[in-house]
């Protein structure tokens, strides 16, 4: 009797017409002010700090205004922190005002998101710990150079661990909230960081090369 019932159940399952099944719709409110505010605050900070830091490296204007390079670097660092706080706040507002995706409303997505946030936070915090305040907030452009290249964790695992950790935080938070809009914004974050790295890495390398030539 059990085998007969099992066969009947499975045969009905196999005869389902999967082409006629409805899947949760991917919905984004494109007119949401919070979402576009988040996009602006995702794109603007890297653009801002690269322009200002290169201007400082070329002119030493901020160092002259604030008397000391370290003070000038701290001012820029505080500005960057405030901008990133605005970015994170607008991102969280977007998660609340945008619809959730039913496909992400499950424990797998939830716990995967928490794990990604833990990994991302570990990368960001450990990167900051190794680089210090000046190393994190573009002290190189102010003439505040690192004595040696950092090669320990997490820099021995990957390049730009702070950027990657930040991206993981956005991705994990989007999964925790089940937000498809959050996933789209995470893609914007990853793209902006990828573009920023293409400009920052060679320029930073040239700063240390020039410093080595002057010493030699």
pLDDT tens over the chain, length 216 residues: 444 444 444 444 445 454 554 555 668 899 999 999 999 999 999 999 999 999 999 999 999 999 999 999 999 999 999 999 999 999 999 999 999 988 898 999 999 999 999 999 999 999 999 999 999 999 999 999 999 989 999 999 999 999 999 999 999 999 999 999 999 999 999 999 999 999 999 999 999 999 888 886
Q: Are 29 and 97 in contact (CB under 8 A)?
A: yes
What Rg value do the Cα atoms of the chain yield, rounded?
Answer: 24
- Asked whether 100 and 177 are in contact (CB, 8 A), the reply is yes
- pLDDT of 19 reads 55
- At residue 5, the pLDDT reads 46
- Whether 98 and 32 have beta carbons less than 8 Å apart is answered as yes
Tell me the pTM. 0.86
pLDDT at 213: 86
Q: What dihedral do alpha carbons 128, 96, 34, 110 form, nearest 10°?
A: 40
Closest alpha carbon to 127 in 110, 150, 105: 150
Look at residue 18 in the predicted model and tell me its pLDDT.
Answer: 46
Dmax (CA) of the chain: 89
Contacts of 162 (CB under 8 A, 6+ apart): 123, 124, 127, 128, 131, 136
Residue 151 neighbours by CB under 8 Å, 6+ apart = none
Q: What is the pLDDT of residue 87?
A: 98
- Alpha-carbon distance of 39 to 33, in angstroms, equals 10
Residue 20: per-residue pLDDT: 55
Using alpha carbons, select from 162, 155, 146, 158 the residue that is nearest to residue 207: 146
Give the pLDDT of residue 1: 47
């Amino acid at each position: 009797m059990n085998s007969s019932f099992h066969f009947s159940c499975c045969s009905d399952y196999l005869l389902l017409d999967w082409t006629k099944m409805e899947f949760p719709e991917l919905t984004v409110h494109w007119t949401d002010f919070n979402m576009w505010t988040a996009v602006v605050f995702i794109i603007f900070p890297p653009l801002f700090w690269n322009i200002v830091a290169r201007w400082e490296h070329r002119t030493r204007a901020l160092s002259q205004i604030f008397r000391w390079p370290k003070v000038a670097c701290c001012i820029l660092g505080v500005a960057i922190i405030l901008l990133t706080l605005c970015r994170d706040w607008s991102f969280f507002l977007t998660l609340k005002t945008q619809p959730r995706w039913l496909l992400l409303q499950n424990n797998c997505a939830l716990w995967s998101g928490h794990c990604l946030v833990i990994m991302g936070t570990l990368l960001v915090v450990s990167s900051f710990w190794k680089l210090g305040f000046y190393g994190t907030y573009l002290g190189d452009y102010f003439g505040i150079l690192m004595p040696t290249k950092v090669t320990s964790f997490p820099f021995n695992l990957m390049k730009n661990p702070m950027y990657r950790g930040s991206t993981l935080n956005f991705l994990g938070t989007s999964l925790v909230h089940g937000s498809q809009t959050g996933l789209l914004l995470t893609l914007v974050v990853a793209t902006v960081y990828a573009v920023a790295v293409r400009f920052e890495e060679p320029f930073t390398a040239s700063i240390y090369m020039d410093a080595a030539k002057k010493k030699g």
